[in-house]
Structures are given as C-alpha cells and as structure tokens.
Amino acid sequence: MTAAMTSAGSRPPATGESAETQSPEQAAHGAARRTVGRVAAAVGPMLSALAVAVGVWYAVTYLVLAENRRFMLPPVHQVLEVSVLQSSHMTPMLQALWLTVQVAVLGLVIAVALGVTQAIVMVQSRWMERILYPYAVILQTMPILALVPLLGIWLGYGFGSRVVVCVLIALFPMISNTLFGLQSPSAAAHDLFTLKKASRWQRLTKLQLPAAVPSIFSGLRISAGLSVIGAIVGDYFFRQGPVGIGGLLDVYTQRLQTEDLFTAIGLASLFGVVVFSLFATLDRAVVGHWYGMVRR
Amino acid sequence: MSVDAATLHAPTADILAARPSTLLMRGVCKTFSTGTVALTDVSLEVAAGDLVSVVGPSGCGKSTLLRLASGLDAVSGGTIQVNAAATSFVFQEPTLLEWRSAQKNVELIDELRGVPRAERRRRATEALELVGLTGFERQFPRQLSGGMRMRVSLARSLVAEPDLALFDEPFGALDEITRLRMQTELQRIFRLKQFAGLFITHSVSEAVYLSNRVLVMSGRPGRIVADIAIPWQYPRPPELRYQAEFAALTGQVSAALEGGHE
Ligand SMILES: Nc1ncnc2c1ncn2[C@@H]1O[C@H](COP(=O)(O)OP(=O)(O)O)[C@@H](O)[C@H]1O
Ligand SMILES: [Mg+2]
C-alpha cells in the first residue's frame, strides 16, 4: 500500500505518450519488486548474521568439542528434532512460558501503578521527595538476591514472591521517569497556573501529568523489558507450584537436557524481544500522537 | 467600561489624571531572600486606555516589577493597588502546553475557571480570530512558527477579558520582521480592548512605537529614572518609525537609559 503510493509519487515525469502507457500491472509489478527489495534490505543483514552464527555454532559443535563433550552445544538440527518439534517437550515449555508471561504482566501493572503513584506523591512536596527518593534508589541498587530468603519466609516460595521480585526489578524506571516528567513544566507554566488560581488537582491533571506522558511511556518501555527479566528471575528462585520458564532453565541444566535448555533460552529471549518491540512501538506512537505529530 | 470614558471625554491632561487607575504602585521595594535588592522606591500608575512601557537594562528588575503587579511575588515595601476584575500575563516565552492544540491552549484559562465547554469554545475561537489565527485552531505548538505561537499566547491572555494586561518582553525572542508585525497587531488589539497595559521591553523603539508613556529604569537596583510621554494618537502607522520625531523620542529615551547606567 505505502510502497505503491510512493512508487506512484516518484514515477518519472511523463514524456510524450504520458504515464498511461505504463499498464497498471506493470506499475504494481514494479511496486511489488520494490517492496521485496526494501524488506530484503531490512532483513538481509539480520539473516546473514544468523547464518554466520549458525555456521559458527556447527563449527564449534563438530570441530572444537570432542564427541563426549558435544552435549554442551548440541547441533542446531538436533535441538530442532529432539526439542522444538517434539510436542511432548514443547507443550510444558509453552505452559511454563505462559505462567512467566502472567508474572511479568502482573508485575509490570503493579510496578506502573506503584511507580506513578509514588512519583505523584513525591512531586507534591519537596519534603516527600527528600524522604522517599533515597529509598527508591536503595531499592534499585540493592541486589535482589539478598532479598530472596526474606521474601521466601514472608510470602512463601510460589507465585506471590515471583511477582514481588518482578515488581522490585521493574519499579525504579517508572518512578524516576514519571518524576522527571512531572517536574518538566517550566517555571512560567507553573506561574500561569498560579496566576489563574489553579487548584493542586488542576495543576496535577492539566499540567504535570500531561507533561509527564512521554516520560511515563519511555519508563514503561524500560520497565516492561525489566519485568520480563524479573519474572524469569522470580521463577528461577521461587519454585513452589507450577513451574515457569525460569524454573525450567534450571531443571534442564540439572538433567543435562541441553537441547531443551537451548529451546527454553530461545523462548525466553523471544518473549523479551516481543515485549521490547511492542513497547517501543507503543512509545513512539503515543508520543507522536501526544504532540500532534501523528494525525488521526 | 472605560471605553466610554475614553470616547466621551476629550483626552486633556487633567481628565486623564482624574481617571481611576487600574494599577497603582507607591514606593515599591523588593529585596529577595538571597539579599538581592531588585527594586527600590518604584511608583507608577496605569489606567484603562494606557499602554505603559518599561525599558531598562537586563537584570534591573523589570520581570520582578511585573511579578509584583500580578501578585506572583509579594512586595518588601510600599503598596500596590489593582482595580481589575481580571489580569492577564504574557510571558517572554509563549509558554504553551505542547500537548494541546492552539484552540485547547486558549481554552485552558476558562477550563480552570469551570466555564462550560460550548461557551469556552466560542470564546477561544473569538480570541484566536482576534490575533489572526483563524484556520490554525487545530495545530499543535510544534507545528506553528515562533510568531504564531506568540499569537496563541496573546489569544490565551485575551480570553480572560483582562482589565490589566501585563507583558514581559513578549516579542524579545522573535525575529525583527515578526516582531514589527506583532507590534502592529498588539496596537490594534489594544485599541479595540482598551485595557490598562504594562509592557516590559528592552527595545527602545518598541516602547516608543507601542505606548503612550515610557518609563525608563536604571540598572540594579531598579528605579524609575525617567517618565516620557509619547504624544501620538493611535492607530500609529508603521512608517512612523522612520520619521524624525520618532527618532527624537527614541533618542530621548536612550539618553535617559544611558544616564541611568551611571
Ligand atoms: N526569585 C529570585 N530570587 C533571588 N533573586 C532574584 C529572583 N528573581 C530575580 N532575582 C534577581 O533580581 C534581579 C532582577 O531580576 P529580573 O526582574 O528578572 O530582571 P529583568 O527582568 O529586568 O532582566 C536580578 O539580579 C535577578 O538575579
Ligand atoms: Mg526579565
């Protein structure tokens, strides 16, 4: 669609017999060729890199590793045969991934709600900011590993603790980005609201929060990526109840099921990439629309 | 309002003096908590139908003067009386909300006051028409030029129907051509609305062209060192700027500015 339009726009100026001599099929054909070309240009380098990686993989498996150590890096086709294409292997992995997705989504929702709320509280007064911000920073810098035993004692070793780990990991970018956005309006903009005797609520809803929307969405992008990591880390540490993809990683390692380990790593990474792309796109769309640059 | 006063009476000096002043400052001083003495003993008076300019070197306390007049800051000494149902403030930067269209930016003031939507829309449309932005209502600030953004800012200030209009170097950041055009626009609006205007600028020719009185401030701490009446009737043609009498008055203001520096 877009390609067809561009090609029509960039058609060379008609000479003599004019553009009508070019049949619609020809034009469509040209457009299709161009689209293919563009996709190839975008995906080509990625595919070449993938091909190189697979090549290196095979080289390491067969040339570097001795036969008795080949389990460390099973060849690609073996990973596909033994694991990816076996529904008896794939089904539990997909179920585990689904559980991890739930942890990540719930963790992200809680992190967003808490982060935005805390930032709003902090922006209400310098004092609140001075009291709360140091704790936010401590939370961010504290190694989660140090909290794991305590969380286990408090909340048990199941779903709840997984979500909490996810929240702890994803929270800080929401706080700091929202706070930055809430503080972004100029002194003059605040003067305008003061002159018009705006209430605190009006200042928040008509000046600070709208000004923070772009930063909130870039915080969301970062936190979404972290929530994936948080969910997998949570699964890994807290194993009671149904297993998540992070738990499976450990199971496969223990049992030396390296084919399944690779598949699980691949699935976890794919999940991360999907979430990242989704929120990056959302971020761009919202911010563009916010400033009227994207017309509806 | 005072439109009638201005049209019914001949503008002789004593009748002008008898008009109630919209803004009256007496012996105003301002010392900041940092110890900076920004203003000392400033007295001035602005009545409806007056457009008074204040010129002075940068940092002499011009913005402080406006902040005091608007009530954004409190005086350290002296008194300020304001007889105005509504006061408007135009900042040096357009200070628009980037996520709102031109129309929505102008509606903001009425939104804060709780004016019903239909009414607020009508008033914003009118104000935008007044500043020559009909057709640009749906544009966002980023899609507008600097001059147009300042027009939106002007429209936003006019929507409140101000009796007292305060301007803090509103055209200072605009290019020369746009600036001259905006001066003409402001003059037209002023003639129509007859508010009491206090206009801060660092441009002598802008002050002389726009106002009927020019106050010259000394360097910090700011004092008023000269009060120069500008005699010409409105509307003033743009060509006035190239005439000898105009040059004579700008010369007089500049000389007062130079004197105030020492
Ligand atoms: N809030 C403030 N606290 C301390 N000093 C200030 C404050 N606002 C302005 N000043 C000082 O007061 C003086 C006058 O400032 P201002 O009124 O902005 O000058 P102008 O608008 O003429 O350039 C300057 O020296 C400035 O640094
Ligand atoms: Mg200033």
* Residue B101 · residue B109 · CB < 8 Å: no
Residue-wise pLDDT for B37-64, tens only, equals 999 999 999 999 999 999 999 889 999 9
| Rounded distance between C-alpha atoms, residue B56 and residue A202, angstroms | 36
Domain that residue A247 falls in: 79-290
Same domain, A30 and A168: no
Same domain, A209 and A96: yes
Residue A119 lies in a domain: yes
Same domain, A84 and A56: no
Between the CA of B151 and the centroid of ligand 2 the distance, in Å, is 20
**Closest listed ligand to the CA of B60:** 1
- Residue B10 is predicted with a pLDDT of 39
Chain A: residue whose CA lies nearest to B99: A291
Check which CATH number belongs to the domain holding A154 and give it: 1.10.3720.10
Same domain, A238 and A117: yes
- Residue B14 is predicted with a pLDDT of 47
* Residue at which a domain ends, from A33, A64, A95: A64
- Residue A139 is predicted with a pLDDT of 85
Residue A72 lies in a domain: no
In chain B, domain spans: 5-86+163-261, 94-161
Q: Which residues of A touch B72 (CB under 8 A)?
A: 191, 194-195
Tokens encoding A165: 């780990």
Distances (CA, A) of A107 to A171, A199, A207: 9, 33, 29
Task: From B42, B54, B58, B63, give the residue whose CB has the most ligand 1 atoms within 8 Å, as the site to mutate.
Answer: B63
Residue-wise pLDDT for A240-252, tens only, equals 989 999 999 999 9
Q: What SS3 state is found at B88? A: strand
> Going by CA atoms, what residue is nearest to atom 27 of ligand 1?
B59
Mean pLDDT of A246-259: 92
Between the CA of B76 and the centroid of ligand 1 the distance, in Å, is 14
Same domain, A261 and A184: yes
Same domain, A145 and A211: yes
Structural domain count, chain A: 2
Other beta carbons less than 10 A from residue B257's beta carbon: 20
* Residue at which a domain ends, from A23, A38, A64: A64
Tokens encoding B234: 């409105």
Same domain, A187 and A280: yes
Question: In Å, how far is B23's CA from the nearest CA of chain A?
Answer: 16
∠B202-B204-B210 over CA atoms, to 5°?
Answer: 100
- Residue A71 is predicted with a pLDDT of 86
Same domain, A100 and A54: no
- Residue A22 is predicted with a pLDDT of 54
Same domain, A159 and A202: yes
| Rounded distance between C-alpha atoms, residue B123 and residue B143, angstroms | 23
Same domain, A48 and A103: no
- Residue A43 is predicted with a pLDDT of 85
Between the CA of B213 and the centroid of ligand 2 the distance, in Å, is 20
Fold entry, domain B5-86+163-261: Rossmann fold (3.40.50)
* Residue at which a domain ends, from A17, A33, A64: A64
Q: Count of CB contacts below 8 A, A vs B?
A: 54
Same domain, A113 and A252: yes
Res A67 pLDDT > 60:
yes
Residue A99 lies in a domain: yes
Q: Supply the pTM of this predicted model.
A: 0.84
- Residue A251 is predicted with a pLDDT of 93
| Rounded distance between C-alpha atoms, residue A217 and residue A211, angstroms | 11
